[in-house]
């Protein structure tokens, strides 16, 4: 694993109200995708609720967050791989990516938490990464992170390869425990819309540890999304629940592709 170009970007910051209506309405995108995908329907908890409500959130937001956190590692791995593989082409994302509603609800839920401060968290993996200082990168999907560095180093020793520990200063990270949504494997969650700069790369080699520590600092939030066509799309969606495949939606979806940055696959 390493870095690759042309990763999809979906922030919806300029059109979240319209997208929310299209996703959550009766017979809308969420219901359509749940009906069309057994894995999605199995992991989805319609009545799931985090311990502490988040102002401005809908039941669908909370269900998405809780369902994703409680999902099996296999589902999260599949979700990440589909985001990676179906984001490089607008046509494959449009026609084949089965979790557009889940991606939107997670992205929007994290945005609406109103995270004001940047914090340092950690993430470990048994995979080895190759990058350079000064490189701008982002993660391909929602990144689980740990509060403690030692917990991340344990994750880096999952196999015989030289693992990687990320020291991440993030401005999108949300504490799942603060909202009563944490699990045994996920303490924090980082948005895939956040771009980082590689600040330092250190090889740690001693009698107890062997890993590469990569320090990432927040650079910016990046989105190429243009929501100008959503006004007409909202009208079209009233006529048919399949309007997500209309010409307007296809044009909109194509604009949600990020072509400028490299992305870390984790």
Residue 246: count of CB within 10 angstroms of its CB: 17
d(CA 229, CA 237): 12
99 lies in the same domain as 157: no
CB 189 within 8 A of CB 142: yes
107 lies in the same domain as 139: no
Query: Could you give the number of structural domains in the chain?
Result: 2
194 lies in the same domain as 250: no
255 lies in the same domain as 162: no
d(CA 96, CA 76): 17
d(CA 209, CA 90): 42
Q: Does an H or E element contain 107, and which?
A: helix 100-112
Note the pLDDT of residue 8: 52
16 lies in the same domain as 83: yes
Note the pLDDT of residue 266: 64
Note the pLDDT of residue 164: 94
Q: How many residues does the chain have?
A: 266
Note the pLDDT of residue 265: 58
31 lies in the same domain as 67: yes
12 lies in the same domain as 108: yes
229 lies in the same domain as 110: yes
All residues at 6 or more sequence positions from 141 whose CB lies less than 8 Å from its CB, including other chains: 79, 80, 83, 84, 192, 266
d(CA 193, CA 141): 9
pTM: 0.80
33 lies in the same domain as 106: yes
Note the pLDDT of residue 257: 38
22 lies in the same domain as 150: no
For tokens 């020793």, what's the residue?
157
CATH number for the domain that contains residue 181: 3.90.176.10
Average pLDDT across each block of 10 residues of the chain; the chain has 266 residues. List them in order. 46 78 92 94 82 79 89 92 68 74 88 77 90 90 91 80 91 86 84 91 86 94 57 43 43 42 56
Identify the bridge partners of residue 200 per DSSP, sorted by sequence position: 215
108 lies in the same domain as 7: yes
For residue 101, the number of C-alpha atoms closer than 13 Å in the C-beta half-sphere is 26
107 lies in the same domain as 123: no
* 227-232 long-range contacts, CB within 8 A, separation 24+: 227/12, 227/14, 227/15, 227/18, 227/252, 230/15, 230/18, 230/19, 231/18
Domain range enclosing 137: 119-221
């Amino acid at each position: 694993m390493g870095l690759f170009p042309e990763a999809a970007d979906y922030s919806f910051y300029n059109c979240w109200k319209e997208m929310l209506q299209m996703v959550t309405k009766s017979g809308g995108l969420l219901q359509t995708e749940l009906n069309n995908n057994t894995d999605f329907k199995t992991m989805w908890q319609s009545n799931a609720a985090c311990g502490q409500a988040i102002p401005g959130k809908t039941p669908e937001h909370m269900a998405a967050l809780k369902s994703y956190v409680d999902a099996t590692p296999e589902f999260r791995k599949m979700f990440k791989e589909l985001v990676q593989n179906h984001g490089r082409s607008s046509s494959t994302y449009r026609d084949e990516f089965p979790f557009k509603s889940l991606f939107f609800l997670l992205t929007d839920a994290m945005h609406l938490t109103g995270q004001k401060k940047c914090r340092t968290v950690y993430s470990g993996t048994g995979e080895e990464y190759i990058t350079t200082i000064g490189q701008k990168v982002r993660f391909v999907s929602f990144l689980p992170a740990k509060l403690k560095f030692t917990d991340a180093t344990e994750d880096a020793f999952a196999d015989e390869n030289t693992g990687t520990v990320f020291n991440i200063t993030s401005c999108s990270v949300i504490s799942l425990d603060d909202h009563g949504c944490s699990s045994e494997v996920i303490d924090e969650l980082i948005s895939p819309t956040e771009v980082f700069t590689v600040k330092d790369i250190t090889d740690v080699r001693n009698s107890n540890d062997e890993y590469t520590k990569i320090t990432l600092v927040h650079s910016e939030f990046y989105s190429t999304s243009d929501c100008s066509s959503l006004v007409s799309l909202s009208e079209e969606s009233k006529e048919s629940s399949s309007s997500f495949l209309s010409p307007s939606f296809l044009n909109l979806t194509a604009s949600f592709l990020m072509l400028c940055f490299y992305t870390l696959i984790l």
